[in-house]
């Protein structure tokens, strides 16, 4: 429970800090396109550092590493408080998060018996989704309370806006978030150590990169590991696009302002929590592959959403879509961790998983941005993404032969 608590507090601070950083960009008169750059930079660290964070997570006590990474996040928030460029400050938070992930999920794999891995992943997923929800709410409350007022900005270095004075009116909310990072670090220090010991990896960057690509091939070639890796990468890449697509569709089709359209994302999150809890109750590790039809149904919910013309119809559709996604991804994520720990190590397999999933997110967001640039209507995008999800999952179900987890 300490691990879940530490994960929740740390992720809560990350999501609230994102909202405050966006508010800082607005106050400093950054162009609007800088806001998605924050997410890009954050995710890019997961991809670029993947060859190195896995061996790091296996080389040191994972709970202690998570505490160190909370310190790095603390420093990122502190830099923003001191008036450092918001993008650079949040990039440091992304660096800490990239190393935090393999330690967190790797420790779950080491501490929990295989028959309880689905349930443990459900709790982790619930904490992640809850932290995202409450973090956005917390950040929004701090912003809307008038704590982030306009400040002076100057332009330094190749026209990149940066704070010429301290962001004084961000002081109180940032101090609160600094306290959350300290709390998360203290909780991490209380997490029990795992008894798992792995052979030492080399420290040369080229050797680590080569070893990482070998690990990548090994996990993709594993029957169940490759299948679950493909499905989770597809799920998160499409999910990142739907996060923005639902907002755009709600504004255009339902006429909602951005503040109200954002509440529809909460409906998806509630559904994910319901699905994750149901999966933890009724799905075993051996039955994880049988949840793939849930993904087919999830894809078909997107065209159904496009046909909705009121909030009261859209909300239940989004809740059901989130529940289907949670029911599918939690068991498959547990299966991926189990197979990854069997054929590689806990930390290295999570690094491979993070690399593939976040590479898919970057590609998915690039595709979505291109389609939006071409002015493709939101309903057409819902139909396209929904049918693509169902088609790809149908192919994956036929591509990989049935097998039992071992």
**Each residue of 102-150: pLDDT tens digit?**
888 788 878 887 778 888 878 887 888 788 778 877 887 777 654 444 4
pLDDT in tens, 355-384: 999 998 888 878 887 888 788 898 999 999
DSSP 8-class letter at 308: -
SS3 60: coil
Tell me if the pTM is above 0.85: no
Instruction: Judge contact between 93 and 10, C-beta under 8 A.
Output: no
Reference 403, options 178, 239, 221, 169; nearest CA is 221
What's the CA gap between 245 and 232, in Å, rounded?
A: 19
User: Phi first, then psi: what are they for 72, rounded to 5°?
Assistant: -65, -40
Catalogue all structural domains in the chain, each as residue range(s) with its CATH number: 1-207 (1.20.1250.20), 219-399 (1.20.1250.20)
pLDDT in tens, 184-228: 999 988 887 776 666 666 667 888 889 899 999 999 999 889 999
Reference 194, options 60, 334, 4, 339; nearest CA is 60
Q: How far is CA 267 from CA 121, 153, 321, 329, 364, in A?
A: 21, 37, 9, 17, 22
CA 168 remoteness from chain centre: 30
Residue 323: predicted pLDDT: 94
User: Phi first, then psi: what are they for 200, rounded to 5°?
Assistant: -65, 135
Mean pLDDT of 67-74: 94
Reference 239, options 301, 282, 308; nearest CA is 301
The sign of the torsion formed by the CA atoms of 210, 211, 214, 215 equals negative
Residue 362: predicted pLDDT: 86
pLDDT in tens, 240-296: 788 778 878 988 888 887 657 767 877 888 898 899 889 888 888 888 889 999 999
What's the CA gap between 271 and 317, in Å, rounded?
A: 10
């Amino acid at each position: 429970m300490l691990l879940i608590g530490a994960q929740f507090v740390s992720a809560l601070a990350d999501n609230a800090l994102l909202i405050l950083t966006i508010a800082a960009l607005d106050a400093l008169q950054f162009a609007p396109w800088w806001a998605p750059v924050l997410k890009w930079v954050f995710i890019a660290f997961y991809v670029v550092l993947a060859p190195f964070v896995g061996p790091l997570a296996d080389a040191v006590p994972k709970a202690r590493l998570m505490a160190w990474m909370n310190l790095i996040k603390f420093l990122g928030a502190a830099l923003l408080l001191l008036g450092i460029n918001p993008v650079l400050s949040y990039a440091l938070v992304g660096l800490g998060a990239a190393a935090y992930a393999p330690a967190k999920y790797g420790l779950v794999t080491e501490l929990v018996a295989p028959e309880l891995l689905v349930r443990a992943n459900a709790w982790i997923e619930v904490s992640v989704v809850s932290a995202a929800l409450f973090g956005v709410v917390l950040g929004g409350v701090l912003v809307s309370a008038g704590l982030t007022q306009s400040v002076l900005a100057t332009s330094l270095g190749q026209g990149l806006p940066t704070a010429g004075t301290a962001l004084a009116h961000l002081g109180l909310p940032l101090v609160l978030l600094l306290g959350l990072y300290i709390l998360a670090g203290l909780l991490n220090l209380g997490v029990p150590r795992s008894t798992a010991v792995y052979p030492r990896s080399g420290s040369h960057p080229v050797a680590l990169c080569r070893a990482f690509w070998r690990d990548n091939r090994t996990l993709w070639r594993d029957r169940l590991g490759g299948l679950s890796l493909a499905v989770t990468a597809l799920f998160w890449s499409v999910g990142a696009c739907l996060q923005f697509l639902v907002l755009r569709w709600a504004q255009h089709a339902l006429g909602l302002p951005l503040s109200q359209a954002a509440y529809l994302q909460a409906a998806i999150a509630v559904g994910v929590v319901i699905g994750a809890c149901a999966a933890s109750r009724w799905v075993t590790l051996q039955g994880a592959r049988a949840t793939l039809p849930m993904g087919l149904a999830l894809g078909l919910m997107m065209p159904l959403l496009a046909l909705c013309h009121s909030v009261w119809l859209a909300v239940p559709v989004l809740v059901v879509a989130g529940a289907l996604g949670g029911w599918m991804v939690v068991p498959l994520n547990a299966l991926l961790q189990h197979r990854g720990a069997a054929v590689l190590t806990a930390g290295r397999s999570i690094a491979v998983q993070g690399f593939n999933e976040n590479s898919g997110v970057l590609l998915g967001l690039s595709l979505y941005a291109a389609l939006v640039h071409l002015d493709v209507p939101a309903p057409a995008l819902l139909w396209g993404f929904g049918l693509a999800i169902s088609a790809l999952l149908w192919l994956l179900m036929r591509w990989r032969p049935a097998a039992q987890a071992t």
